Structure 1
Amino acid sequence: MATPLSADQFLAALRAEGVTVVEVGDWRNHNRNHKGAWGPVNGVVVHHTASSGTRDSVDLCYDGYDELPGPLCHGVIDKEGTVHLVGNGRTNHAGSGDAAVLDAVIRESALPRPTVQNTDGNVRFYGFECINEGDGADPWPAAQLEAIERVSAAICRAHGWGSGSVIGHKEWSIEKIDPRGFGMDDMRARIAKRLASAPEKPATPGGATARYTVRPGDTLTAIAEDHDTTVPRLASLNSLKDPYLLHPGDELKVPAAGPQYEPFPGADFFRSSPSSPVVTAMGRRLVAEGCSAYADGPGPRWTDADRRSYAKWQRKLGLSGSDADGWPGAKSWDALKVPAVKEGK
């Protein structure tokens, strides 16, 4: 048994394990603690959402629905491997399960098949919902499986647990089939291998970073322009939340001079139909990866040919459905490794 991690400890553990994290709403104070106990904790339960699309799935897990109010887990793992934090404390994810399974988790011994529903799992387990339709056909991209491995290892490492403390929902409850599409024994083997070594230092997407001290009159927009990056990129690097309040003396991470790859410019950049050398550089990389849908080009103006080409790239990464709709996301962008460019060149 262990005392649950605080929000800061939870976030630090995930980041130390190299997990890409997005903080959603008031996740730190979003829980069901007024309905029951939270802790002591004994393990991690992995679920699938039985849904598609990142935004809708994250919203569902944050808000819940009439019969089951949110949060429905602690974190949502999307197809690109990003973990969206939606709750901290008791969440409606595990439900009732078998006390014999809990005993096996505590001992980290072979799991019995659940036969009864006699124990409240929401007290004892962290929960992660993984975006997947759960039909056995929806693929599990490598980035998503790696994120499951990393978040599980992060929590186990923080508590001093082994991989036997990680189970699937179907291993807890007689009423559940999730996660469907990969084996929990294989996942536990991956987690055990990761726990056998020190956590990897997380790579910084888009190149190395430097430090910048905020001066009077600075705005995030001006700092972004001065460092050839975007406001969403700076906000992500520094875990800033809208309205991005800055104070003189604040220290920010900024892209170091001459980054090797172009940082993700944000989803809204592409939806505005930009004309930019970034689009040309992206298109050339898509062609190099065998993902071209271009009749001419690529060129600087974002067109439907760019979107269809990018959708091919997303499918090449193992994404499908609304996650392969051609609109770039941070993980698929970083995987594409678009060479750094400067506007106007």
Structure 2
Amino acid sequence: MATPLTADQLLTALRVEGITVVEYRDWREHNRNHMGTWGPVNGVVIHHTASSGTRDSVDLCYDGYDKLPGPLCHGVIDKEGVVHLVGNGRTNHAGLGDGAVLDAVINESALPRPTAKDTDGNVRFYGFECVNEGDGKDPWPAAQLEAIERVSAAICRAHGWGSGSVIGHKEWKNDKIDPLGFTMDGMRARVAVRLGSAPTPPSGNEPFPGADFFRNSPDSPVVAAMGRRLTAEGCSAYTEGPDSRWTDADRESYRRWQRKLGFTGCDADGWPGKSSWDALNVPRSS
């Protein structure tokens, strides 16, 4: 059992794991905490939305509907592998499931087939909805599957859990089929491999060029790409640009990014380091 991550801790965990994150509306305060407790937490539940289209799916998971008010999860994973955060706290995603399954998750042992509905999963689990029609025909792009793997690993890593803490909705409740189109045993195997090494950025991102690269005042497209990502994250200190030449504005912008990730003191001095760089997800430009 663990105390739930704060909003900032969740953001940092996801970004350090190399995930592109969109903060949707007032997700930090959007929850169902008035209906019951949130935590202690024990694992992650993966769902599919049974819908199509990123915007419609994100709106659905944020708002919910008459019989099931939102948020319906903590984050929505779209087909491009982007995670849209829609809730922070208790969310309406897991519902009543089998306490024997929860025990297996806590012990990271073999999962029994769910039969009972005696335990409130909204208390105990993070939930992520994945955009998919859930008909067995809608494809699961590689980028989306990788994002599911990275999201699961990020939360497990933050809490010190293993891959056995990740389950599908259908493994929690006997009347659910999601996620349909890949196996949870296969996904847990992927998560286990990822947890076996330090976080790495996606292959399409610019690898960390090293601390000395920036201290030598480079003129490089990498700097411009970094500046655009800092601007997108709301950390811009630029009065013009950004462009390819490293300037004091780049350093101040990067300092703001480090502080956004929760770094302080000499760890937020504006000089890029590997963990903060990997969390920024700078597109490859070199």
TM-score (norm 1): 0.64
Which residue of structure 2 aligns with residue 182 of structure 1?
A: 182
**Paired AA for residue 231 in structure 2:** A
Structure 1's 150 and 207: CA in aligned 2 closer, same or farther, altered over 3 A? closer
Offset at residue 256 of structure 1 (A): 3.8
Structure 1's 140 and 6: CA in aligned 2 closer, same or farther, altered over 3 A? same
Alignment equivalent of 1:235, drawn from 231, 236, 256: 231
Unaligned 5+ runs, structure 1: 212-226, 259-330, 341-345
Q: How do 1:102-181 and structure 2 match up within 5 A?
A: 102-181=102-181
Distance in structure 1 (CA, Å) of the matches to 2:208 and 2:238:
20
Q: Does the residue aligned with 2:44 lie in a helix, a strand or coil?
A: strand
Distance in structure 2 (CA, Å) of the matches to 1:129 and 1:166:
13
* Contact preservation (8 Å) 1:208, 1:255: no
**Paired AA for residue 136 in structure 1:** G
**Paired AA for residue 163 in structure 2:** S
* Contact preservation (8 Å) 1:21, 1:84: yes
Distance in structure 1 (CA, Å) of the matches to 2:201 and 2:177:
34
* Contact preservation (8 Å) 1:61, 1:71: yes
Distance in structure 1 (CA, Å) of the matches to 2:170 and 2:125:
14
Distance in structure 2 (CA, Å) of the matches to 1:88 and 1:33:
9
Q: Does the residue aligned with 1:102 lie in a helix, a strand or coil?
A: helix
**Paired AA for residue 37 in structure 2:** A
Structure 1's 139 and 35: CA in aligned 2 closer, same or farther, altered over 3 A? same
CA shift digits 1:182-222 (9 cap, x unpaired): 000000000000001111146785798998xxxxxxxxxxx
Q: After the TM superposition, which parts of structure 1 deviate over 6 Å for at least 4 consecutive aligned residues?
A: 206-211, 249-253
Q: How do 1:1-345 and structure 2 match up within 5 A?
A: 1-201=1-201, 205=205, 235-236=231-232, 239-240=233-234, 254=242, 256-257=244-245
Higher relative contact order (CA 8 A, sep 6+): 2
Distance in structure 2 (CA, Å) of the matches to 1:207 and 1:116:
48
CA shift digits 1:278-328 (9 cap, x unpaired): xxxxxxxxxxxxxxxxxxxxxxxxxxxxxxxxxxxxxxxxxxxxxxxxxxx
Percent identical pairs in the alignment equals 72
Q: Does the residue aligned with 1:45 lie in a helix, a strand or coil?
A: strand
Structure 1's 88 and 233: CA in aligned 2 closer, same or farther, altered over 3 A? same
* Contact preservation (8 Å) 2:80, 2:143: yes
Structure 1's 156 and 255: CA in aligned 2 closer, same or farther, altered over 3 A? farther
CA shift digits 1:111-154 (9 cap, x unpaired): 00000111000000000000000000000000000000000000
How many residues align? The count is: 240
TM-score (norm 2): 0.76
Offset at residue 235 of structure 1 (A): 3.5
* Contact preservation (8 Å) 2:27, 2:85: yes
**Paired AA for residue 199 in structure 1:** P
* Contact preservation (8 Å) 1:48, 1:178: yes
Offset at residue 158 of structure 1 (A): 0.4
Which has the greater radius of gyration? 1
Distance in structure 2 (CA, Å) of the matches to 1:87 and 1:252:
35
Structure 1's 228 and 157: CA in aligned 2 closer, same or farther, altered over 3 A? closer
